[in-house]
Each structure stands twice: as structure tokens, then as C-alpha cells.
Structure 1
Amino acid sequence: MEWLRLKEYGMKNNHIKKLMLIFQDFEELFYEENFKLFNDELKHQLEESMKIDMKERIELYKRNRVRIISANDKEYPKKLKEIKDYPVFLYLKGKKLKDYEKIKIDKDKISVENKRNIAVVGTRRATKFGKMACEKIVNELVNYDVTLISGLAEGIDTVALKTALDKGIGVISVVGTGLDIVYPYDNRDLWERMAETGTIVSEYPLGTQPTRWTFPRRNRIIAGMSDGILVAESFKKGGALITAELGFSMNREIFAIPGFINYPSFEGCNDLIKNNKAKLTTCGNDIAIEFLWDIKKEKSKLQKLTEEEQTVFETITEEVSFEQILQIVKGKIEKNKLFSIIMSLKIKGLITETNGAKYIRIV
């Protein structure tokens, strides 16, 4: 964590990243043959960073229940590294970040891409219609095991996060301040709730105040961590549109709720749809269809199988007859019992019978 000195001092993210690429260990910066190559400004920054009492800083983070991870840590979101200027360090408060890269459904036999990180963004000046539409769609995502990502701003962010928390949906909030600065202060209760049951993420050290630059910067993190971005309500210009455009450039799936043509607060959403940059979205199922999330339902079916059902299901790795299955499970399952197990797997929608009186998986 010695590299963290540079971040705590205030060195720019890209400068830290370049140094970390060139030098394997922080101590190498101060080797005489290396240090003499740096310009006076960099030498001054390095010397000043060494004056920081890191033991005291780490204790401060612990007292504030803040964890720090680097881009080299396993918990660091893999998708976030796809953006050009990804943060070298992330400051986290709350639960560990969930890795949705892949979920193995049936041991090592079936692997399914499982994209379930969905950002919900929108204007702070949300209308009643926008809030209701946002709440409706988030409610409908509860069946799909998603993780919802948003900011902690007023308006759409607040509606999305509160609805997700009420429904037990996993939540991540990316903020534009240090994790000890609650902003906006009116959201302090939501902030505390997020820290207990979700995860709050920042790229800024403790004590960092909100500025006009920190919030646009955090939008790239929201886009980077997401598989899809739902714009619930947005004016023609604003942070939500910035996030959507960033996501579009990263090949993320973009979704937008359409609004009345005479509502300025929906002009951004309508333009995204009109320009074929976003899928018109009126329900949670529109997002599920795009990602083939019906596979999640099959996953839950597999988790509920009895031991004998699991044994039979695992034998059907290709098209097989009843006799072939019976031969494989011989000594474990009787013939009469096998008939009922196969019938149960068919009823549960996990296998089907082909024209040749054979059985094959359908998940």
C-alpha cells in the first residue's frame, strides 16, 4: 500500500499508473539512478508523499470503516479496467463487491455469461412520472438477481437505490466525494443504509469535498462497472447522458424510458431512442430479454434438485435413451424410481423427450 502515498498526496491517477507500470516496487522510485531522472516537480511530489504518516492514515480509514483496494486486487471490478483512465485505487464502504464475470450452472459442464450489473441513472429534477417509471422497472428486476449501480444524488438515483434496497436487490453507489463526506446531506439516511446493506464506492480519499469536476468523473466508473445502463429520465444535457454516452462508447447495453414529447426532462431519453443508441424500455423484462436472463430462472431450478434428480440430470450431457441413463446410474437408482425422476425433470422444464425416445437438456 506504499503506492497509496501518492494518491493521498494528491498525485493524478494517470501519473501514478505510469509510475506503477515502470517500477515494480514503490521503493524503486527513490533509488539514486531512478530518482535523478525525474523532473523537479515529480521529485518534490515524491518527497512530500513520504512525509505522510501512512500508519495514521490507515487507522483513520479503519475508524471510518473504509477499505482500500488497488487495481491489482481480486475484488477490483474486472470490467472497470476496460476504461482507459480506470482508478488505480478504490475506497469502499460496506459489503464486498460481487463478481459477476461468470456463473457455473452445473459444476464445470455449463458456463454461462451472466451479465447482471445494471446502472440506473437520471436527473436530479425528476418528475412524478419519471420516479414512478423508475420504481416500476427496478421492482420488476427483483426476479433477476441483478446488482443495481447508481450515484447517491437526489432524484432518480435516490428512487432507484431506495426501491432496490426495499426489494433486497444488491446495490452499489458510486459517489463524487470522500466516503466521510455525505452529499447531498439530505440523503444521509440512505447513505447509512447503503453502507450497511450495500457498497459505497469512491475514487477519492477521505476529506474530498464535492466539486463540479468530481461528479462527471465518477460517471465513468458507473459506466465501467455496468453491463447495461438504464436512463430513467434525462434532460438533453446532464450527467445521466454523459454516463449513457460513455457506456455506448464501451459497448454497454443502453436502455431508456420514453417520455412525453413536451417534457424537457425526457428529451435526453427520447433522443437516445430516436438515434438508436438506446433500447426503448417500459418494463424490467425488456432488459432481461436483452441479456437472456431467463437462464437465471433455470439456475434456480437446478439449485432445488434432489440428490437423485441431480445425479440423473448430470448423466444427460448429450442426447441419451432411458436404457443408457439406467446403465449409467445402475446401483444408485432403481428402474421404477428412474421413471419418476425423469418425469420430474421434464415437468421442471430441465429436459425434454426427442422424437427418437431419447432425452436431452434444454438448459
Structure 2
Amino acid sequence: MSTLHKIALTFIKLVGPATAKSLLAYCGSAENVFSASKKQLAQIPGIGAKTIEAVQNTGALQRAEEELKFVEKHGIETMFFSDDNFPHRLKHCADGPLLLYFKGKADLNHPRIISIVGTRNATEYGKNLCKQLAEQLAPYNVMVVSGLAYGIDVAAHKECVNNQIPTVGVLGHGLDRLYPQLHRSVAQQMVLNGGLLTEFPTLTNPDRQNFPQRNRIIAGIADATIVVEASIKGGALITAHIANSYNRDVFAYPGRTTDVFSEGCNFLIKTNRAALINDVNDLVYYLGWDTEVLKKKQQIQTALHLNLTVNEQKVVDCLKSGQLAVDELAIQLTTQQSKLAIVLLTLEMQGIIVSLPGKIYKLT
């Protein structure tokens, strides 16, 4: 399918992502949608006379030509929902966008993506949590997504930039502008390692209704959403609700019961809409990242074991069933403890086994 026709699909009035996907399913391609006759379009379930008229209006293609020129001029990547580069997590969201515009270098199919959201009126408590969170996430090869809004969003982006974590801002307008302007500097830094993402074309104003719509992308593109600070009403709770509807993990930092901007977090935890976390260790546990680290460690150990001597390998094989005292090892291996001690010391120095009180040994 041509990029022009893919973009044009998003400019057809009365046609949203769900209807556009239905048109594609029946017509086979974006080009075929625009070349289909009234009779052919009328046979598609849910497609009425007004929609047919909108599809056959040439205005969508003309507007798409303007958008394509802008995209090509500014090196913007387009991602259609059927393309390989489209975020695969969003493909599983029934109300996901049809087309995305992306400026940056991040991999939107990164193996670990976390969304961080919160109030626009961030307190020092919330900002410090963002700082702590970014510092602790840095070793885990993660990408962070947020909305580049005032408060927690921009604090999370800034801390990610400081810790060289790729971070992506999801916008409520086109890539021909930036809102708020105050965040232009951090946005420019984000593009170097992360990026800016939107489903909105150029000439789209940052209208109020666009931000709840973009929140579904923030929730859907990530494995989990973390609410740092939030009042009982606002975009952060909307994002958490959407993430729940997508069966994604939601986490929240607790706050004092008297803090207005922790009220939303406490509500999410109290109603089992979010799991309580105190730091990244909790996140690592819930998402099973510690299991992956353990597997990697075991793989390293296996590689080390390939270089063992015959006697060292015998000791390792014995300890695979569990920890053993030195005298039990000597009996099982039918060897003298004095000779065994040298083998045990060598294995311990290699970090393959560890010595416990009472001359008991086990594999690390």
C-alpha cells in the first residue's frame, strides 16, 4: 500500500480507526478503498451513504499529499497498523490508532516499555520519585513513555535523559508544533535517543479532547503503567483505567492520606486497580525481570562449567541436587577430604560454589 493512501485514510471524515480497518478488510488495500465504487462500498456492513460520500470525496487524498510532503521533508517515520514497524503492543488494542507519526530513534517494539504518568502539579515528593525511578531503571534496558505534559510527565522524561534511558513523548497534536513550548529543549534531547510520537497530523491544535485520546497510546504501547502522583480526577487515572482495560499491569506509589496529589494513587491501590510499589525492586518482581536475570546468571554458570576439570565437574554435579557438607561430598565422591578441599577452594574462587557455616557448600 502506498504511504499516500494510508495517510489519506485518516483524513476521511466520519471514518475512525475501526471503520477504516473494516474498509481495508473488505477492499484489501488503501488504494482499493479510494477506487471502490459506491455499489462495492455499500456492500460493506456498517458503511452508509454519508460514509460512502466521504470516502469518494477527493479532499482526503489532497490533504494527504500535503501531509506526505511535510513527513518527507522533516524525516518523520509513518507507521501504519499493518506495517512491521508499527508498535505490536498497540495492535492488540481494539481502539488503537490506524497510523502513527514518529520522530526519533527509539525502538517502539522495545522488549521492555514502561509508561510513567502523573499529575501536572507535581510536588517535590513526586519529582524525587521520578528521579529515583529513572536511576533504578537504568540498568534494566528499559524504554520509558509519557505525555510530555507539565508535572510528572516532563519530570520523568528529564530524568530518563539524564540517565540515558530512551524516552518517548506521546503528543496530543501534530509534529509541526510542540505543546507546551516550555518543554522544547527536553523534547530536542529526547529525539536523539528516544522520540516524539503522535497519531495527529499537522495543523492539529493541542485541544483538550486530544489528550485523553492520546492516553490510550501511552497505556497501550507499554507493558506496564506507573502512576507516580495523581489526584482523584485527571489524565493519569484515565490512563490507568485504559491500561486496566487492555489487561496491562498498573502500579502506583502510595502517598499520605492528606495529600491531594496522592489521592488518586491511593484510590487505585485501595480498589485493586494498581499494585503498590515502593521502588523498582517491586516492579522487577511483579514483571518477572528478576527471573530473567537469574536465567542469564545460570547461562553464564553453564558456560563456566564447560571449562571445569573432571574432579570439579563431579563436585558441581553432586551439588546440583542441593547443598552438602564437605564430609558428605567426600563420601559421595569416594575421595579424601584433603584432596577435595583443593577442588572446593578452586570452585569457590571461580564463584561457582559458595561456602556456608558448618563447612557446607552449594552452587551459587
Kindly tell me: are residues 195 and 344 of structure 1, through their superposed partners in 2, closer, same or farther at Cα, counting changes over 3 Å?
farther
Q: CA RMSD in A?
A: 3.5
Is the counterpart of residue 5 in structure 1 residue 8 in structure 2? yes
Kindly tell me: are residues 274 and 27 of structure 1, through their superposed partners in 2, closer, same or farther at Cα, counting changes over 3 Å?
closer
Shift of 1:295: 4.0
1:245 aligned partner = 241
Kindly tell me: are residues 45 and 348 of structure 1, through their superposed partners in 2, closer, same or farther at Cα, counting changes over 3 Å?
farther
1:92 aligned counterpart, secondary structure: strand
| TM-score, length of structure 1 as denominator length | 0.78
Separation (CA, whole Å) in 2 of partners of 1:93 and 1:129? 32
Separation (CA, whole Å) in 1 of partners of 2:84 and 2:76? 17
Among 274, 286, 306, the alignment partner of 1:312 is: 306
Shift of 1:35: 4.5
| TM-score, length of structure 2 as denominator length | 0.77
- Show structure 1 runs of 5+ residues with no match: 102-115, 314-319, 325-338, 353-358
Counterpart residue type for residue 215 of structure 2: N
Ranked by relative contact order (alpha carbons within 8 Å, sequence separation 6 or more), the top structure is: 1
Of 229-238 and 173-182, the range deviating more from structure 2:
173-182
CA contact (8 A) 2:8 2:61 kept: no
- Show structure 2 runs of 5+ residues with no match: 308-312, 318-342, 356-361
Kindly tell me: are residues 258 and 31 of structure 1, through their superposed partners in 2, closer, same or farther at Cα, counting changes over 3 Å?
closer
Kindly tell me: are residues 18 and 272 of structure 1, through their superposed partners in 2, closer, same or farther at Cα, counting changes over 3 Å?
same
Is the counterpart of residue 44 in structure 1 residue 53 in structure 2? yes
1:61 aligned partner = 71
Separation (CA, whole Å) in 2 of partners of 1:26 and 1:345? 64
Separation (CA, whole Å) in 2 of partners of 1:203 and 1:344? 56
Q: Work out the number of aligned pairs and report it.
A: 323
CA contact (8 A) 1:301 1:348 kept: no
Separation (CA, whole Å) in 2 of partners of 1:16 and 1:36? 14
2:223 aligned partner = 227
1:8 aligned counterpart, secondary structure: coil
Separation (CA, whole Å) in 2 of partners of 1:25 and 1:189? 40
Shift of 1:92: 0.7
Separation (CA, whole Å) in 2 of partners of 1:246 and 1:51? 32
Higher Rg of the two aligned structures: 2
Separation (CA, whole Å) in 2 of partners of 1:294 and 1:346? 23
Shift of 1:301: 5.4
The aligned runs of 1:1-363 (5 Å cut-off) are 1=3, 2-10=5-13, 11-29=15-33, 30-32=35-37, 33-35=39-41, 39-46=48-55, 47-49=57-59, 51-52=61-62, 54-100=64-110, 116-298=112-294, 309=303, 312=306, 343=347, 347=351
Of 165-174 and 118-127, the range deviating more from structure 2:
165-174
Shift of 1:194: 1.5
